[in-house]
Structures are given as structure tokens and as C-alpha cells.
Amino acid sequence: AILEKAEMVSNAKMERSTKSFNFAAYHDLETLYSFMDTLVASHPNLITKVHIGNSYENRPMYALKFSTGGVSRPAIWVDAGIHSREWVTQASAAWIANQIASNYGVDPSVTSLLGQMDIYLMIVTNPDGYVFTHTNNRMWRKTRSVNSGSSCRGVDPNRNWDAGFGGPGASKDPCSESYHGPYANSEVEVKNVVDLIMGHGNFKSFISIHSYSQLLMYPYGYTCTDIPDKSELHSVGTAAIKELTSLYNTIYQVGSICKIIYQASGGSIDWTYNIGIKYSFAFELRDTGYYGFLLPANQIIPTAEETWLGLKYIMEYVCNHPY
Amino acid sequence: MLCAHWSRLRRVSSRSCCATALRSTHSSTRLSSSPERIMKTFCSVWLLLSVVELSPAQEPPLPETAEDMASTGDLEPTHYPARRAAQVALHYLNTRHGSPFRVFGLQQVHKASAEDVEAGGRKYKLDFSVTDWASGSAGPALRCSADVLFPRTERHSAPDVKLRCEALQQINRTVQEEEAFYQKHIPPDSAVSARDIPDSYGNMSEEMQPFWRLARVAASFIMLRESSENTEFNMVQMASVTQQESSEEQLMLEFVVLLHDLPSQEIVQWKLLASWSPDRGVRVLQTEWQPRCPHATKPPN
């Protein structure tokens, strides 16, 4: 513990600007939030910080909006860290945010993409949980809401969406890691995202980033029935994974949530698909169980780099296939 | 490519833009350029299709109540029923051939099938590849085949595994490392003790790696025993290791391990006592499930 604290203090000192931000390390919430501010300050014409609401414990929730103008342009949503123990996701999202910012004006496809569409990137989707993984329990997954009538806290934020809510693949036990909560959108963290998506009205893609297992998945989780767009999403996913694998030979599998990992109800990408956001995907990043959630920091950048290739493919596809 | 063409039209929505494009090309007296003709054709077809488009799909499907994913016959190798069964075979492989310098990981399932058997069990036949994680995930792959039988009894009982891996005997034996490790820690004054390996940041010292692998191998006995078609276990952390005194010529180690079950997402804690020597391999002597407090912070000692 002493070694970790020293590490955190020295990381914080180093991260006064994005140039010195150490992407190859795990950071606490404060450091990630200050990174966001630095990134926005260095790219004022591209990025704004959107305060989408507060968490249960009243922490601000921020999404980075990448936009070159327009009014309510078609947009792509990417979130990381909805499950707080999946640390490689928040860390990768920070790297990806920086990558998008640096690539704009340099990389033709990113530049063209941002000429037509906006990107919303939420680096820490569950800030209360993330803080708890630093202060108390590295394996914390859920939110930190108080469950009435139980000494167990927290709801699984990816069982709390209004899609097959309360069905198989979620627990009604508040002490369970996959507790769905008292009702859909009971968790303010989920409600804030739902409100933003609904209020915006023009999202064309929704991508949620998790770890671990090395999978790229599409709906549904709440049922194993195929979605009408299965064929298209499966081939987009397959092509995206080909890009991802090309970098370091990391093997991913593609399939619907229900078939490839488990039946799970109340998941975010099921809800987004059902409200018409066709290109809804979920990633499970490295690894396949060797380190699991405790992925060594020296794998953050390789993970982020390969994930970015997959993500970029999906984004380009979305842009080229307006609907 | 199409994206770049669209950018020439100022648009709010694709459909209104498409209509604008048609109007502008119609009103033009000059011959439209080739890209414009292509766009015009595309737009016309698209508008036509969107008019005759079937009304939005029926209501989203209702979830089934009892999902029976474990179908009989050939299984999709990338789907979870095959993968869970392969993971069980992997745990079995590690109990037999794991060591402080060798832990196997599942690389890919190639083929899988399942059938119900007499006495109400289900047997999976698998063809899969594993790699030796200790030599890096890019190490050579070993091809294996296995029969995994999940009994269907009232109380849970361990699955039965029959496993064959090609060239198992030929992979580099880590004899020297094992011997050196053994000699270093067998003296009576050796009292290794550590917590949280790896730490929250995934750090693990060189010195701790063989202990972590031993914990992983010992945990494989538990994971194998506790597995069913509804579980998929990995060890996420060696919460603690405490070397015990030993009168026999074995390293005696007490571990507390954290296991992660993918389907339920639960973290399960076990305390176990295991022995190891280069000759006898890993033996698990005692296991004890540890309840975790709801307000779980550090594991209770």
C-alpha cells in the first residue's frame, strides 16, 4: 500500500499537462478529471466537457464532446468504466480521448468523421465505484447507492437499463454483483446517460467498453433471439476485430451478448438498440483471465492502441452508413 | 468514401439532404458530373426504398423464462457453452501439469459438441488449443481434446474430465527453475509471506511470480471441483500466501485466493493449504470457503 500511494503521488506530480500525463499508469478519479480539463484546454475548438449530471454520492459525471460544429449532428457515444473494477477501460478511454484529439487535422479519416459527426466519450461512467476501488475494495463493480432494507450497497449499472429489466441474467438480491436495482433507471448514473441520449435524439451508435474477456458483442443480452440487424452487426464486428487483431495479434471473438458470454437483462446496448440506435456494441478488453481485472499497467497502451483500431473501424462504418 | 461525398452537402438529416441533392441536380441545366449522377441515383434508390420500407419491426422480443443455451449436438465454438466446458478441461490440465513455472491458458476452442448421457448428465466433446502463459501469451499453442462430463445430480458434484494434449511431454520442462526455486525455499528458516499479488495496479515482482502460479495451480483444483455448465472461473488475485512448516520434503503453503465467476460476476474467496515439490507436483490438502462481508473491504483473516 505504501508503494501504491507513492506511485500515485508521483503520477499526480507528473501530470500537469497532457504531454506529461502518464497513459501507461492507472490514476485516481481526481487525476483523470484534471486530465480531462487539460485536454479540453489544449483543444478548445474541438472538445467541450459536458456535465451530464451527478453520481449517487454527488460527484460530477463528465462526457467529453468532440465536435467541429453543426447543430445536434449525428453522434457516436462511447463509455468506459461503468463497472468500476475494470480499470483498463478508464485508462484506455483516456488514451483514446488523447488520440482523437491528436488525430484531428492529421489523420484523414478521423478528420472526415469529425466533419460530419460528433463523438461523446465518457471516461468514468461510475465515479463513485471508481473511487471505492481505490479507497476500499479493488473488486467493486456496482454503484454505491444505498439499498433500502439491506446492508449491501450498490446496483449493477449494466442491469439497470430499460430492456428486459428484471428478467433472467440479473439478480434481485441487493448483495449480488448483478443486482438489477428496484426499477429500471433507478441509478442516477444510468438515468443521466439515458436523459442525455434521449434529449439529444440523434445518436447513431452507442459503444460500451468493459473488461475482461476479449470480446466484441452486439445485442441482445436479455434474450438469445437474434436482432433483425444481426447479419450486418456481426460483419461490422468481425471486420472491426480484424483491425484490432492486426496490431498485436490479440484474439477477440464476436457475437451477441446472450450467446457469447451469458444471458444478461437490463443492459445498456439492448436499450439503445431498441430505441433505434442500430450500431450498438459492447467491448470486453484484455485479458482472458490470466490477470483479469488486475491487468498490469504496461498493457494499458497496447490495449488502448488495438481497441482504438477496432473502435475507429466501427465509427467510420457508422459515418459511411447513415440511416 | 461516401462520407466525403456527403460532406459537400450541408445537411441536417440524411433524408432531407438526399431530397435537396435531387432538387439541385434537377434544376441544373448543365450536365451533372459523374459523382453527382452517382449520388443522384443513390439518393433516388434510397428514397424509393425508404418509402416502401416495411414499417418498423414488431415489438422487441420478450425474454424467454428458462434459457436453454446448452443445446445438444454441434456447438458454436466461440459461444459460452463450449468455452465454459473448455475452461473446465483447462483447470484439469493445470492440476495435472501446472507448476511454479507453468500455467496454461485457453487460447481457442476449435470444435465442440454436447450430448445428454444416461443418469442425467451432459457430456461435452472438445477440440481446443492452450498456451503456456508463463512463457508469454504469444508462446506456442498446444492442441488438446477433452471429454467433459457435467453430472446432473441434486447436490453439485465435480465434473469428470478426460484429456489428451499432443506433445505435452515434449514441451520444455522447467526442471532447473523448479529445482532452484525448491532449494531456495525448502530450508526450515524460509518463511515466505505476502499479500495482494498482483496489487491493484497489476504489479507482481519476479520473486512472487512462482508463488502466484502455484496459487493458480492450487486454485485450479477448487475451480475444477466447483465448476458447472453455469460457471466460468478464473483466479483474479492471490490475496495472501504464508509458508508453513513442513517435515516432509515439500513446500507447504497456505493461500487465500480470490476467484471470479464470469456469469454471476461474483468474487469468491477460498483459503487452501497446498504442498509442492518438483517430484510430486501440487497437492491440495485442505480447502475452506471464506464468506465475504457485504461491505467487503480487505478479506477477513
Residue numbers in B near A71 (CB within 8 A): 12
Residue B280: exposure state from Cβ atoms within 10 A (0-12, 13-18, ≥19):
exposed
With CB atoms and an 8 Å threshold, state whether A220 touches B237. no
Q: Which DSSP category does A230 fall into?
A: H
Separation between Cα atoms, residue B83 and residue A66, nearest integer Å: 39
CA A177, CA A140: separation in Å to the nearest integer? 9
CA angle A22, B135, B190 (to 5 degrees): 90
Given 3-state DSSP classes, what are the helix, strand and coil percentages for chain B, each rounded to the nearest 5? Answer: 30, 30, 35
Distance CA(B231)–CA(B271), nearest Å, equals 20
From the list B270, B264, B265, B261, the residue with the least C-alpha distance to B299 is B270
> What residue type is assigned to position A252 of the chain?
Y
Q: In what order do the strands lie in the sheet with A118-122?
A: A47-54, A60-66, A118-122, A75-80, A203-211, A279-285, A215-218, A253-256
Q: Is B273 on the interface with A (CB under 8 A)?
A: no
Strands B160-165 and B121-132, bridge-based pairing: unpaired
Crossing angle (nearest 10°) for helices A127-135 and A29-42: 130
Helices (H), B227-298: none
CB contacts, 8 Å: B236 with chain A: 139, 291-294
Per CB-CB distance under 8 Å, the chain A contacts of B4 are 112
CA distance, residue A286 to nearest chain B CA (Å): 12
Q: What is the DSSP string of B108-177?
A: EEEEEEEEEEGGGEEEEEEEEEEEEGGG-TTSPEEEEEEEEEE---SS----EEEEEETTTTTSPP-HHH
* Nearest chain B residue to A222, by CA: B63
Domain definitions of chain A by residue range:
1-137+162-167+189-321
CA-wise closest residue to A43 among A112, A121, A127, A100: A100
B residues 79-118 closer than 8 Å to A (CB): 79-80, 103, 105-108
CB-CB under 8 Å, B198 with A139: no
- pLDDT of res. B174: 83
Query: Distance (Å, rounded) from C-alpha B282 to C-alpha B169?
Result: 18
A255 touches B at CB < 8 Å: yes
CB nearest to B264's CB, from A136, A177, A255 = A177
- Interface list for B 25-84 with A (CB within 8 A): 57, 60-67, 69, 76, 78-80
Instruction: Give bridge partners of residue A161 from the DSSP assignment.
Output: none
Average pLDDT of adjacent 10-residue blocks, chain B of 301 residues? 38 35 40 53 53 47 47 88 97 96 94 91 96 72 96 91 87 85 93 96 95 98 97 98 92 98 97 96 96 55 36
Which residues fall within 8 angstroms of residue A212, CB to CB, at 6 or more apart? A86, A88, A284, A285, A286, A287, A288, A289, A291, A292, A293, A295
CA distances from A60 to A38, A127, A188, A193 (A): 17, 8, 11, 13
CB-CB: which of A176, A213, A222 is closest to B63? A222
Of B65, B137, B295, the CB nearest to A168: B65
C-alpha separations of A257 from A265, B168, B193 in Å? 10, 34, 41
Enumerate the residues of chain A whose CB falls inside 8 A of the CB of residue B67: 168-169, 223-224, 258, 263
CB contact set of A88 (below 8 Å; sequence gap of 6+)? A211, A212, A285, A286, A295, A299, A300, A303
Kindly report the number of other CB atoms within 10 A of residue A94's CB atom.
26
Task: Give me the residue from A156, A175, A259 closest to B79, CB to CB.
Answer: A259
Q: 10 Å Cβ neighbour count for A302?
A: 15
Q: How far is CA A184 from CA A191, A195, A266, A280, B60, in A?
A: 9, 13, 8, 19, 17
Series of mean pLDDT values for 10-residue runs along chain A (323 residues): 61 57 97 97 97 98 97 96 98 98 96 98 98 98 97 97 97 97 98 98 98 98 97 98 96 97 97 98 96 96 98 98 97
How buried is residue B143: exposed, middle or buried, by Cβ count under 10 Å (0-12/13-18/19+)? middle
Helices vs. strands in chain A: H and E counts, helices first: 10, 8
Report the catalytic residues of A. 284
d(CA A318, CA A135): 39
Distance from the A137 Cα atom to the nearest Cα atom in chain B, whole angstroms: 5
Q: Are B67 and A168 a contacting pair at CB < 8 A?
A: yes
Give dist(CA A303, CA A298) in Å, integer. 9
| ipTM score of complex | 0.92
CB contact under 8 A, A115 and B199: no
Q: What integer pLDDT is reported at residue B169 of this predicted model?
A: 72
Pairing of strands A279-285, B233-244: unpaired
Beta strand A253-256 with B104-117 is unpaired
Looking at the complex, report in whole angstroms how far the Cα of residue A164 sits from the nearest Cα belonging to chain B. 7
Q: Is B9 on the interface with A (CB under 8 A)?
A: no
Q: H or E segment at B273? A: strand B267-277
Which residues in A lie closer than 8 A to residue B204 (C-beta atoms)? 296
Pick the residue of B234, B238, B257, B259 with the most A CBs within 10 A to test the interface with A by mutation: B234
B200: helix, coil or strand? coil
Burial classification of residue B301, based on how many CB atoms lie within 10 Å of its CB (0-12 exposed, 13-18 middle, 19 or more buried): exposed
Distance between CA atoms of A302 and A108, rounded to whole angstroms? 23
A positions 53-112 inside 8 Å of B (CB): 71, 87, 112
Q: Alpha-carbon distance B276 to B282, whole Å?
A: 5
Q: Do B295 and A153 touch (CB under 8 A)?
A: yes
Which residue from A116, A136, A316 is facing B297, i.e. has the nearest CB?
A: A136
Which residues, other chains included, contact B93 with Cβ-Cβ below 8 Å and sequence gap of 6+?
Answer: B104, B130, B144, B163, B165
The top-level CATH class assigned to A1-137+162-167+189-321 is alpha beta
Asked if A221 and A169 count as a contact pair (C-beta separation under 8 A), the reply is yes
How much is the CA Rg of chain A, to the nearest whole Å?
18
CA distance A137 to B264: 18
Q: What sign for the dihedral angle of Cα A319, B1, B2, B3?
A: positive
CA nearest neighbour of A17 among A122, A101, A121: A101
Chain B hits for A296, Cβ within 8 Å = 198, 201-204
Per-residue pLDDT, B59: 59
